[in-house]
Structure 1
Amino acid sequence: MRRLAVPFLLAAVLTGCSSTEPGKPSAGDSGTGAPATGTSAGTAPVARPKAVDLKTIDPCTLITPDKKTALGLNVVDAGTPLPDYGEGSKRCNQSYVDRKYLGAIHTLLNGGVDRLKRTTGEAKLTELKVAGYPAYLTQTDSPGSVGGCEIYVDANDGQLLLVDTFGALGEQTATRDGACERGKALAEAVTTVLTTK
């Protein structure tokens, strides 16, 4: 009889050290107070109207005929993608009717906002919203021109839509502010179309 009492007594003691009631600590709790919510990377999901896979997008299709007219664009045609923007990246070149400014839209497929902040430098980026998407603007220098603006739209995890607008070479009446103004209008227009894709 004594042999049976010892295991039962031991079982009763161990049961008292552990609880399965919700919100009650048990012997296995570490007591670190770590939050129970969030992602494994520790970042919140990005608030976008719609995540769009840019691998499937031709950026020239984002400039509809009515947008082309409204923005004062003259030529819209496919360009040579830059290898730095990842395999499968695409490019669309634009020129304006007044010939003061030029532009390009690129799909960046090899890194998102984290990479942008590392390569460009977070201090050089200005946050803004473009058609409901988080976006980042940076001003650029360009030899022989007034420079321009790059607007990066956070279209999908690890992918960015880049709208680059700059003064034409040797154009004395162009300004960086003018390039940024046109870049913002172009980014808003093409990102609005992007949400329909």
Structure 2
Amino acid sequence: MRRYLAPALCLALLTACTSTEGGAAAPRSSTTEATTSATTSASKATSPSSRPREINLDGKNPCDLMTAEQLAAIAPTTAPRPGTTDTFKSPNCSFNADGAFWRVTTVVTEGIDAWTSGKREGQPAAITPVAGFPAITVTLPTDQVLCNIAVDVADGQYLYTGFEVSEGFADKFPKPCDGARVVAEAVVQNLLK
């Protein structure tokens, strides 16, 4: 009888710890609950009805969305580098300064709900709106030098800014989320003109 009890017990334990859903196995913890709570509050904060108006990003060149004065207020930069993100299949522009890097992406392939619904990796958290437009930060707990902000400007589109500060330069630049917000505010200000 004991010979059959051990395999049966192992089978019962394996069955109890198995899920039919895909993804990484992880215990439900306070971090998971906090992320779920942040996602829920971020979802509520980004309903389309809370936008002051819609800003269509189609055809907007991200490299043209910050003025020379706005760039200089952050730091002297090298020439902007236009590109297209593989992740969003949308145009972006990268700006480099000695010790910092930031990017502006006009995401035209999905709405901000890609973050708030959990489709994309990252921890979304609702923040104070940017010029009245709902916004979230998107961070990774493992990356303390980078912060992204998504601003809900239209159905199926959002402005995405990222700001990264190199190690050893933290005293020369804003904190990553503060820097990403400065960039987002400047871009939205110019889009509203």
Measured against the shorter chain, the TM-score band is 0.5 to 0.7
Aligned to 2:114: 115
Establish whether residue 132 from structure 1 lines up as the match of residue 132 from structure 2.
Answer: yes
Aligned-partner residue type, residue 190 of structure 1: V
Matches within 5 A, 1:11-26: none
Aligned to 1:93: 94
1:31-59: CA deviation from partner (whole Å, max 9, x where unpaired): xxxxxxxxxxxx96433233122122111
Cα distance in 2 for residues equivalent to 1:142 and 1:82: 22
Report how far residue 65 of structure 1 moved.
Answer: 1.7
Cα distance in 1 for residues equivalent to 2:153 and 2:162: 16
1:136-174: CA deviation from partner (whole Å, max 9, x where unpaired): 11223677xx42110001111011110001123xx3233
Q: Is the 8 A contact 1:140 1:150 kept in 2?
A: no
Instruction: Give the match's secondary structure for 2:177.
Output: helix
Report how far residue 123 of structure 1 moved.
Answer: 5.8
- Could you tell me the TM-score, scaled by structure 2's length? 0.65
Aligned to 2:168: 172
Q: Against the structure 1 CA distance between its residues 181 and 76, is the aligned structure 2 distance closer, same or farther, given a 3 Å change threshold?
A: farther
Aligned-partner residue type, residue 131 of structure 1: A
Aligned-partner residue type, residue 135 of structure 1: A
* Identical amino acids, percent of aligned pairs: 25
Cα distance in 1 for residues equivalent to 2:100 and 2:141: 14
Instruction: Give the match's secondary structure for 1:80.
Output: strand
Aligned residues: 146
Cα distance in 2 for residues equivalent to 1:156 and 1:136: 14
Instruction: Give the match's secondary structure for 2:151.
Output: strand
- Could you tell me the TM-score, scaled by structure 1's length? 0.64
Indicate the structure (1 or 2) with the bigger Cα radius of gyration. Answer: 1
Q: Against the structure 1 CA distance between its residues 141 and 79, is the aligned structure 2 distance closer, same or farther, given a 3 Å change threshold?
A: farther
Report how far residue 187 of structure 1 moved.
Answer: 1.1
Q: Is the 8 A contact 2:122 2:139 kept in 1?
A: no
Q: Against the structure 1 CA distance between its residues 165 and 51, is the aligned structure 2 distance closer, same or farther, given a 3 Å change threshold?
A: same
Cα distance in 1 for residues equivalent to 2:151 and 2:77: 24
Aligned-partner residue type, residue 127 of structure 2: E
Q: Is the 8 A contact 1:134 1:153 kept in 2?
A: yes
Structure with bigger RCO (C-alpha 8 Å, 6+ apart)? 2
Cα distance in 1 for residues equivalent to 2:76 and 2:141: 23
Q: Against the structure 1 CA distance between its residues 142 and 101, is the aligned structure 2 distance closer, same or farther, given a 3 Å change threshold?
A: farther
Cα distance in 2 for residues equivalent to 1:44 and 1:162: 17
Report how far residue 78 of structure 1 moved.
Answer: 3.1
Cα distance in 1 for residues equivalent to 2:128 and 2:79: 25
Query: Among residues 50, 64, 67, which one is paired with 2:67 in the alignment?
Result: 64
